[in-house]
Structure 1
Amino acid sequence: MSKRLKSCAAMTAVLLFAASGADAAADIAHIFWKDLRPATQAVAGDANLPMIASRLPDHGETLSLNLQDKTIQLAGYALPVDRDGDLVYQFLLVPWTGACSHMPTPPPNQIVLVTPARPYKMKEAYEPVAVTGVLQPGMEKSQLFILDGVSIVQSGYTVRKAEVARVDSVPDTVALPLNSPWNFLNKKKN
């Protein structure tokens, strides 16, 4: 094979690989927290924050099956479940700061159990992150170690082998009411 032909073959392979990467990026569904609950379920603001499962007719266990096996990207706040120092091996992705440890737990359909593809270096609890990976509906329980003891938290979704990236803000975050004792947890928005 000539040098020129080898060079053309190599360039074609690179272009095909780049095109397939672009196609894969186009197949990512950028979703919001509302996409994980039934359309008829009240949003946190309507349910008088904090929205907790016991206030909902189905206890927040109705999941969105139309996203099953889809590659999604969702932004939220990371709450470590399994960590070693600043390396996090598994975390809960929640829609607002303070959820699960400082405030009542959101409904299961508003909690995603995330296992990063590589340990994620986290600076602080409730760090705003975007998670990209395949969404799997299904109830799972996680043991969460918090300041005042251990809590069992039920999540409605999992994303394994997730790509995790720090973000500056969460687009559809729920802000705590001004009179909340946990208002200091609200992250500053840019």
Structure 2
Amino acid sequence: MSNRLKSTAALAAVLISIAAGSASGETAHIFWKDLRPATQPAAESVGLPMIAAKMPDHGETLSLNLQDKTIQLAGYALPVDREGDLVYQFLLVPWTGACSHMPTPPPNQIVLVTPAQPYRMSQAYQPVSVTGALEPGMEKSQLFILDGASVIQSGYTVRKAEVMGVDKVPDTITLPVNSPWSFLNKKKN
């Protein structure tokens, strides 16, 4: 192959990758605070656990400025639909213990995730990063926990999500030492 033909092929490959990147849009790396209105207090300021009943809007006010944008958000995966270690759908929550060991966070702090491929998960509350189009809208999921079934309302969904394990969640909430649930705090490496 001549040098000119190689250069033309390389240029074409670069242009195709640039076009593909701009067509798919950029991924916004967001944090849990981005899913709630700025006027809603953070969990630390209302006392843990932050539960919907303590909020005037019951945590149902969603952030519509992220609608249909490709986002990346890290949190803890709580399986909803699984077969063995393959998870077909899970709730992404901001701290360990949410929904099963302690009261449920408000809906605007829960994301229902359907991975593009089943995700292999060894334990509940595994830290993961989710990338995909964020869709605001209330969804109810039935979660089976040790003491029975519970219906959990999430404020967002991400379908066909890319999921990958992470070592830590950047904006995780650490439960106070005097909390009866402090054993759920993940060890920091």
Indicate the TM-score class for this superposition, using the shorter chain for normalisation: over 0.9
Q: Aligned residue for 1:166?
A: 165
CA shift in 2, pair 1:188/1:24, >3 Å: farther
Q: How much has 1:104 moved relative to structure 2? A: 0.2
Deviates more, 1:157-166 or 1:11-20: 11-20
What is aligned with 1:80? 79
Checking the alignment, whether the CA contact within 8 Å between 2:25 and 2:70 is kept in structure 1 is: no
Partner of residue 62, structure 1: 61
Displacement of 1:181 in angstroms is 2.2
| Distance of 1:127 and 1:64 partners within structure 2 | 25
Q: Matched residues in 2 for 1:137 and 1:13: separation?
A: 38
| Aligned-partner Cα distance in 2 for 1:34–1:165 | 21
Aligned to 1:178: 177
Confirm or deny: 8 A CA contact 1:168 1:189 kept in the other structure: no
1-side partners of 2:177 and 2:20: how far apart?
A: 44
- Aligned-pair CA distance for 1:22: 5.0
**CA distances 1:38-66 after superposition (whole Å, capped 9, x unpaired):** 10101111111000000000000000000
What is the CA-CA distance between 1:28 and the residue it aligns to? 0.6
Letter in 2 for 1:100: C
What whole-Å deviation, never above 9, does each CA across 1:135-163 have from its counterpart, x for those lacking one? 00000000000000000000000000000
Relative to structure 1, the CA distance from residue 24 to residue 126 in structure 2 (aligned partners, 3 Å threshold; closer, same or farther) is farther
Q: Which residue of 2 aligns with 1:151?
A: 150
CA separation in 2, counterparts of 1:14 and 1:188? 44
Q: For 2:23 and 2:181, how far apart are their aligned partners in 1?
A: 40
Equivalent position amino acid for 1:189 in 2: K
Q: Distance in 2 between matches of 1:179 and 1:86?
A: 33
**Corresponding residue for residue 34 of structure 1:** 33
Query: Which shows bigger deviation, 53-62 or 8-17?
Result: 8-17
Distance (Å, rounded) in 2 between the aligned partners of 1:164 and 1:183: 27
Distance 1:123 1:151 in 2: 22
Partner Cα distance (1:188, 1:10) in 2: 50
CA distance in 2, matches of 1:26, 1:135: 13
- Counterpart residue identity of residue 87, structure 2: V
Alignment correspondent of 1:19: 18
Following superposition, the deviation at residue 11 of structure 1 comes to 2.5
The runs of 5 or more residues in structure 2 that have no matched partner are none
Q: Which runs of 5+ in 1 are unaligned?
A: none
Superposed counterparts of 1:79-118, under 5 Å:
79-118=78-117
Percentage identity across paired residues of the two chains: 73
Whole-angstrom distance in 2 between the partners of 1:20 and 1:32:
28
Secondary structure at the residue paired with 1:156?
A: strand
In structure 2, C-alpha distance between the alignment counterparts of 1:41 and 1:122, rounded to whole Å: 32
Root mean square deviation of aligned Cα: 1.8
